[in-house]
Chains A and B, each alone.
Chain A
Amino acid sequence: MFDWLQYIADWFVYDILGLSIKSHLAAALNFFIYDSVKILLLLFFIIFLMGIINSYFPIDRVRNYLSRKKLYGLEYLTASLFGVVTPFCSCSSVPLFIGFVRGGIPLGVTFSFLVTSPLVNEVAIGLFLGLFGIKVTLIYVVSGILLGTVSGVIMQKLNLNYLLTDWTKEILNQSQREVGSFVDKQSFSSRLPSIWQDAINIIKGVLPYVIIGIAIGGLMHGYIPEGFFEEYIGKDNPFAVPIAVILAVPMYSNASGILPIVQVLVAKGIPIGTAIAFMMAVVGLSFPEAMLLKKVMTVKLIGIFFGVVSLCIIISGYIFNWIL
């Protein structure tokens, strides 16, 4: 699909710049040009596509659906699926949380949404597709959805309502089923330009991180020997997955820069399961989000929430390493 791009990269590096095919610099530069253009194209495509899908599932409709329909246990999975198509912005997590709880949606179901929405987002999917191909992307997306579902069920079983802040409890007591009289209605043709514009804005925002990440990855690709990491962080090292996950939680803001580097680490021998677990923790859990959630949850509840999700990610990491 991207052969044409490889031709352009080859032509530019070997013919225009006249670098030797054997030099490290040429290999690194070629890798950089090919990868960055390919990833940005895929990223744009996915963000635009998700924007279109999302315009059919506005958040108010999602809430009304979840609070009205009896889903007999499938509500966790449904919330998780809605999380995939809803673009996530950490500054919306509190309004979203309150909005769900106010609509009478159980805490666990709200958590399912809150886990999957950042974890399986359009930027992560685009980067995964560009860096790891379709198979790994599907594994990431499907396991992300299941992870959100399972975490939500666990959170519900733990019965943690008493750990919400007083403000949230007050809102919970006044919870009502019919809320949100205002619906932001726009026709599809009038939405399309803004979806396009949003996609451009998102790309602009992540562009520096992606480029720097790919540049560092390109350098490492050219200079680190094949299989370099296998000795140290092989599949049989039982501590690799938990350590990777714990390291990843504080790294949120640079997720789009970290993924290209991880791809090179995988190429050089780090097991893919450990890498996926690491990236799930980078993308799905973040300190800024935890700070914002303090308004609605006590620190203890945030701790339990992050603990449950981390544990689920670690377990999935072991499963990936075992089956892949």
Chain B
Amino acid sequence: MEIKILGTGCPNCLTLEKRVRKVVAQNEIQADVTKVDDIVDIMSYDIMSTPGLVIDEKVVSKGRIPSEDEIKEFLTN
């Protein structure tokens, strides 16, 4: 599974990245977590507010920090 966190480096994006890594580790999910900082790359996902969460090239949330439970749901479905 490929997880991408879209964000230019604001506190919210960092919080989301930390939270995603925590959920991945806790549930022993096989996934690559990468942070996308380049704005040109971010815009290719057509989001208007950061942070964005992308799982296997699909945007699952944007402009907010989902809770750990919600992230787990995204990752297990």
Contact = CB atoms under 8 A, between A and B. Distances in A.
Interface in B44-75: 46-50, 58-59, 61-67
B46 A180 contact: yes
B12 A194 contact: no
B49 A89 contact: yes
Interface residues of A, number: 27
A95 B64 contact: no
Interface in A256-294: 292
A91 interface: yes
B46 A99 contact: yes
Contact of A92 (B46, B50, B67): B50
A98 interface: yes
Contact of B49 (A95, A182, A205): A95
Q: Is the interface of B mostly helix, strand, loop or mixed?
A: loop
B10 A99 contact: no
Interface string A84-105: 0000011110111011101000
Contact of B59 (A59, A99, A182, A193): A182
A180 B64 CA distance: 17
A224 to B, nearest CB: 36
A60 B62 CA distance: 10
A98 B43 CA distance: 8
Contacts of A92: 10, 48-50, 63
Q: Is the interface of A mostly helix, strand, loop or mixed?
A: helix
Interface string A191-216: 00110001000000100000000000
Given A59-B63, A184-B63, A167 B40 contact: yes
B50 A95 contact: yes
Contacts of B50: 89, 91-92, 95
Contacts of A102: 46
A99 B49 CA distance: 9
Contact of B48 (A91, A95, A167, A205): A95
Nearest to A95: B48
Contacts of B67: 193-194
Interface string B6-50: 011111110000000000000000000000000110110011111
A193 B67 CA distance: 10
Contacts of B12: 89, 91
B61 A184 contact: yes
Contacts of B66: 194
Given A92-B49, A184-B64, A194-B65, 7 more contacts: A91-B50, A95-B50, A96-B48, A102-B46, A167-B40, A184-B61, A198-B64
